[in-house]
Amino acid sequence: MNVSLRDRLQVSNSILETIGDTPIVRLQHISSTSRVEVFAKLESFNPSGSVKARTSFNILQKAMEAGDLRKGDTVIESSSGNMAIGLAQACLVMGLKLIVVVDPKINKLTSQLLETYGATIEMVTEPLEEGGFLGARLAKVKELLKITKNSFWSNQYGNLDNPKTHYQTTKEIYEALNGRLDYLFVATSTCGTLMGCADYIKANHPNTKIIAVDAVGSVLFGGEAGTRKIPGHGAGVDSQFLDQGYIHDFVKVSDLECAVGCWELLEKESILAGGSSGAIIKAFQKYEDQIEEGSRCAFILSDGGSRYLDTIYNQEWLIKNIPGVYDALTPIGGWKIKPSFEFNVAIVGLGPKGLYGLERLLAQLKNKKVQEIVNIHLYNKNEYFGAGDVYRFDQPNYLKMNFTNQKIDIRSQKQPKSIVKLKSYTSWLSDSTGIDESLLKDQFSSRKMVGKYLCKSFEDLISSAPENIKIYQHHEEVVNITENEDVLQLETFLEGKSKKLVEVHNLLLTTGHAGNRSEILENKESISSNIDFVYPVEKKLTNIDSNSSVAIKGMGLTFIDAVLALTEGKGGSFSGECENMEYFASGNEPAVIYPYSRSGALMIPRVGEMPNVPELRFFTAEKLNEIRKNSAYKFDFSGELLSLIKKEFIYRYYSVAFRNSGEDIIENLSFSEILNEIENFHKKYPFEQRFSFEALKSPFIQYKSYDTSAVKHLLEKTLAQVSEGRKSPLLAAISAWHDISPIFNDLYSFGGLTARSHQIFDTEYFSFFNRISYGPPLENMYKILAILKAGILDFSYGKSPKIAQLPNGKFELKNSYSETSKKALTDYHIDARIPKMKLPEQSSLLYKNLFKEIKMQVFQNIDETGIYETGGMDLSKEGHPISKEGKELHNITIYGTPTEGVTFDNDTLSRSRNDFSSVWANGVVDHLNKIISNSKNIK
């Protein structure tokens, strides 16, 4: 029998006299190497079962000695744990009343104990918006102190008698270890125990290193506050005691590690201890490598495990609350229950395509009556889930759709039906504005308004998800995806700081254009005179000075957005309509804007009312199937397809031109007969505009030189033609591409064109078809004309100029095609193109990493005509990436713009074009069922 035990067997005059002098035990099996000695001080031997017996008694005793507290007074404290129980016992002995302020997280056993000791429990039910439950409890304490006569706040968070209590605790350790201790591990919380030990050590044994054991999700040593399931260590608010200068180091321990530590202590040392003790065990093991051989380490184990029988030592609780626990530990006697299977899915990128994927997945899960828990993790770089970058609703109204309202519809035409009755855009808009739906159909909306519709549809979907489907929204950028056996690990950055890994079984990548850009990389870029991406326009373009000169690369939709942001967005205004529209400068816009592109041609705008046109006749699926000799057949774009496309343009143009002139329709004629009729038509109507596909493609061949007046003339002419709406032969011709493009997509996809002609299409025709078919609404193009007429737009260098940045930061524009030495200097350069994919070099961190980690490879179209790399990635017909080893990654599906190159023209709001989302949703349910049936077979 040792001395202190004999002491303890002496008669004490009160239970409070038995506080302290707790046993210290050598732990024989906790160190993995036996290089160091390990001792544990068991504070559960205190009469109220924890180290807080010391704190509570000392605070009360000191207050009584100081006359701040008298017998019969009321002690008030905020605590849901050991401090409350310590106080309850001490108050009972000392003739004091006790009110304990708790929150709903208090465990049943603690509240039973408090009631049994006769303490009054005051429960706060609502957390404060700022300060949470702790804030609410402290507010309640203050309120009670005011209304309770002769009351005293023991204040474990700020009363200096809290840390001072532990000079004695620490002294006892040195006494037991004959004054030799190298490391002391103490759990954080109020930091009273930690700082008491630290003060004592600094004064008496400065060579001992004190290691604070903190929780993942605690803010004490920095980092964001996070959910912590196991109480006892860590804190969500700063400590009033902590002085990091006294602490040698700290170790953070997760809930899972903490639970594992508790069970290890039980199994290896037969010590049933509380949560913070398990945290210390794990912290020591994590830190052990840094501890010098032969060192002596001691732990303060704050409490015992009996109050944790419902949590850490309860198998059901563990499985429900601590992810991964089933694999990480085995309770003594083995697991009596198994975790119910949970299937984890992620969608990375929550623009329209991610939203479509979510809609299909929910429909499939419901239709197939999936009962298992399915966790759907949604990741998006911005907070506009459903709208993404293009339709975020903090953008200005002048950024318009290039689709009429009637074409916008989140609803899928496919089975199974959606889990909720979603609305078409026009029906939603009509409900929101009170305007009759029929009047809205042919209108163009702002992208912001469409974003509101998309977000509303997103909210309707997630709020109607079945009970077993849990949806988690993460406003984070995914930067890497790695394979770990059968799961995928997602690595994210949050506000450029923390990173975490989430494991999922299956994943949909719908990162859109932004897939090529990384916010993380972008944020590092300083704002300079070279602006390489214009969105969000208000943020990116506001720094451009008034009266400066600006060069803009690209003449597509983004160019229009940028010009409007630099004019209307800077206070300029328009009056009048169509060709009479005038621009009134605000004085804040640049003095001159020099647009330029490869062709120098502006987009052809769109109108709501398109002409009635005949069906396709030459470029039909049937006709193409006749050409296609077998399923492996590759089409030669220039040799086989282009002439058919031209025929459709000509046929449609003249169908409307003939109809306008009251001539006979040409629908049943052969193409050579049609050409004859066209010649006759022009003889009869010599002033009618003649259609030329070549002139549509290279419009300036008709002009002597390329300059601002040529651009203005062509723009005025095009706008007049498009304004004819239903009567416009030009629009009729262009409409051919709208109908051809789905058929063409089938021919183009997965290397359906010969390699050489694939390249020709991508480099020479892709942007041409975009320019004529997907232009802005007419109104925005009239705005461009008005700005041009106001002298702000100057096209002198509009066609393939040479551009260079000078040492002084300015940009020099020079015409490459003219002999003149004319040149212009600009203060800014804006890249207003949406670049085509060029993987892996020009891509976001995520795609760069995907090429490394899961070994994605670029798509190559290879045949006897050559090898063509599109810049996109290699994909299977179901949208799964194919690795360098030729492996199809079935648990990843890519949908939307990132499939560009392998497929064609995914860059729209269309639900039907290259719809990998439906295939994916179906595949996810199959994947889930496969895992379940495999696990049944194993049993």
The tokens describing 324, both together, are: 């991964």
Name the residue nearer to ligand FAD (CB basis): 281 or 348: 348
Interface with ligand FAD, residue 846, by CB under 6 A: yes
DSSP, collapsed to helix, strand or coil, labels residue 494 as strand
Q: Who's near 104: CB < 8 A, 6+ residues apart?
A: 123, 125, 133
Q: Taking the complex as a whole, how short is the minimal distance between the CB of residue 447 and ligand FAD, in angstroms?
A: 6
Q: Which of 199, 255, 269, 389 binds ligand FAD (CB under 6 A)?
A: 389
Q: Which is nearer to ligand FAD, 44 or 844 (CB)?
A: 844
Options 16, 176, 210, 348; binder of ligand FAD; rule CB under 6 A: 348
Measure the N-to-C terminal CA separation of the chain; round to a whole number of Å.
Answer: 52
Secondary structure element (H or E) that encloses residue 123, with its range:
strand 120-123
Q: Hey, how many other C-beta atoms are within 10 angstroms of the C-beta on 21?
A: 17
**Which of 261, 305, 451, 512 is in the footprint of ligand FAD by CB under 6 A?**
512
Q: Which stretch binds ligand FAD (CB under 6 A): 248-256, 456-464, 553-561, 761-769?
A: 553-561
Taking CB under 6 A as the rule, which mask of x and - marks residues 454-483 in contact with ligand FAD? -----------------------xx-----
Q: Using the rule CB under 6 A, give the single segment among 238-246, 350-358, 424-432, 825-833 that binds ligand FAD.
A: 350-358
Measured between alpha carbons, how far is 542 from 519 in angstroms, rounded to an integer?
Answer: 19
**Interface region with ligand FAD, contact rule CB under 6 A, candidates 142-150, 247-255, 400-408, 632-640:** 400-408
Look at residues 42, 39, 60, 59 and name the one whose alpha carbon lies nearest to residue 51.
Answer: 42
Q: Which amino acid is it at 238?
A: D
Look at the block and give the residue holding tokens 């623009």. 351
Structure letter (DSSP) for residue 764 = I
Question: 3-class SS at 340?
Answer: coil
Q: Would you say 358 or 650 has its CB closer to ligand FAD?
A: 358
- Is residue 508 a contact residue for ligand FAD (CB under 6 A)? no
Max Cα-Cα span within the chain: 127
Q: Which residues contact 693 (CB under 8 A, 6 or more apart)?
A: 646, 649, 650
Under the criterion CB under 6 A, does residue 857 sit at the interface with ligand FAD? Answer: no
- Confirm or reject binding of residue 275 to ligand FAD (CB under 6 A): no
Please, what is the Cα angle at 61 between 58 and 62, to 5 degrees? 85
Short-list 80, 206, 198, CA closest to 133: 80
With beta carbons less than 8 A apart as the criterion, state whether 258 and 214 touch. no
* Per-residue mark of binding to ligand FAD, 864-893 (x: CB under 6 A): ------------------------------
Tell which one of 166, 209, 353, 617 touches ligand FAD (CB under 6 A).
Answer: 353
Total site size for ligand FAD, rule CB under 6 A: 36
Residues in contact with ligand FAD, shown as a per-residue x/- string from 360 to 379 under the rule CB under 6 A: -------------------x
Q: Which is nearer to ligand FAD, 404 or 418 (CB)?
A: 404
The reply to whether 909 sits near ligand FAD by the rule CB under 6 A is yes
Taking CB under 6 A as the rule, does residue 352 contact ligand FAD? yes
Q: Helix, strand, or coil here: 847?
A: helix
**Could you say whether residue 511 binds ligand FAD (CB under 6 A)?**
yes
With CB under 6 A as the contact rule, the residue among 381, 441, 553, 570 that binds ligand FAD is 381
Q: Which of 51, 198, 514, 730 binds ligand FAD (CB under 6 A)?
A: 514
> In 3D, which of 344, 379, 366 has the Cα closest to residue 418?
366
Note whether 769 binds ligand FAD by CB under 6 A. Answer: no
Q: Which residue has the tokens 């849990």?
A: 470
Nearer of residues 559 and 828 to ligand FAD, judged by Cβ: 559
How does DSSP classify residue 882? B
Nearer Cβ to ligand FAD (43/561): 561
Q: Scanning residues 76 to 105, which ones bind ligand FAD (CB under 6 A)?
A: none
900 belongs to the binding site for ligand FAD (CB under 6 A) = no
Minimum CB distance to ligand FAD, residue 560 (Å): 9
Q: How many CB atoms lie within 10 A of CB 340?
A: 11
- Taking CB under 6 A as the criterion, the residue among 49, 163, 388, 729 binding ligand FAD is 388
The verdict on 402 binding ligand FAD (CB under 6 A) reads yes
- Listed ranges 157-165, 349-357, 366-374, 851-859: which one lies at the site for ligand FAD (CB under 6 A): 349-357
User: According to CB under 6 A, which residues from 826 to 845 bind ligand FAD?
Assistant: 834, 844
Identity of the residue, 60 or 563, whose beta carbon is nearer to ligand FAD in the bound complex: 563
Quote the distance between the C-alpha of residue 631 and its chain's center.
Answer: 40
Query: What token pair was written down for 833?
Result: 């193109």
C-alpha angle 34-35-39 in degrees, rounded to nearest 5: 65
Q: Which two tokens stand for residue 369?
A: 């009556």
Give Cα separations from 316 to 319, 333, 339 (angstroms).
5, 15, 8
Alpha helix locations (H) across 103-160?
Answer: 108-117, 132-147
State in angstroms the smallest separation of the CB of 445 from ligand FAD. Answer: 9
**Among 163, 354, 775, 923, which residue interacts with ligand FAD (rule: CB under 6 A)?**
354
Q: Cα separation of 706 and 704, whole Å?
A: 7
Structure tokens at 484: 């770990």
Q: Identify the three-state secondary structure at position 503.
A: strand
Does 349 contact ligand FAD by CB under 6 A? Answer: yes
For residue 122, give the nearest of 75, 156, 55 by alpha carbon: 75
* Least spacing, CB of residue 392 vs ligand FAD, in Å: 8
Integer Cα distance of 905 and 899 in angstroms: 9
- Cβ(425)–Cβ(456) below 8 Å: no
Are the CB atoms for 910 and 846 separated by under 8 Å? no
513 touching ligand FAD, by CB under 6 A: yes
Q: Does 896 bind ligand FAD (CB under 6 A)?
A: yes
On the 0-12 / 13-18 / 19+ scale of CB atoms within 10 A, 426 is buried
Output the smallest distance, CB 376 to ligand FAD, in A.
15
Span of 178-186, 203-211, 248-256, 512-520 interacting with ligand FAD by CB under 6 A: 512-520
Angstrom distance (rounded) from CA 269 to CA 263: 10
- In the complex with ligand FAD, which residue's Cβ is closer, 606 or 617? 606
* CB 718, min distance to ligand FAD, A: 19
Go through the chain and tell me how many residues it has: 939
Angstrom distance (rounded) from CA 177 to CA 428:
76
Q: Which of 401, 422, 490, 564 binds ligand FAD (CB under 6 A)?
A: 401
* Binding residue for ligand FAD, selected from 908, 913, 919, 931, defined by CB under 6 A: 908
* R_g over Cα of the chain: 37
Based on the shown chain and the rule CB under 6 A, indicate whether residue 390 belongs to the binding site for ligand FAD.
Answer: yes
315 part of the interface to ligand FAD, by CB under 6 A: no
Span near ligand FAD by CB under 6 A; candidates 167-175, 554-562, 577-585, 779-787? 554-562
- Determine if 558 is a binding residue for ligand FAD (CB under 6 A): yes
| Residues in contact with ligand FAD by the rule CB under 6 A | 348-354, 379-382, 388-390, 401-403, 477-478, 510-515, 557-558, 561, 834, 844, 846, 896-897, 907-909
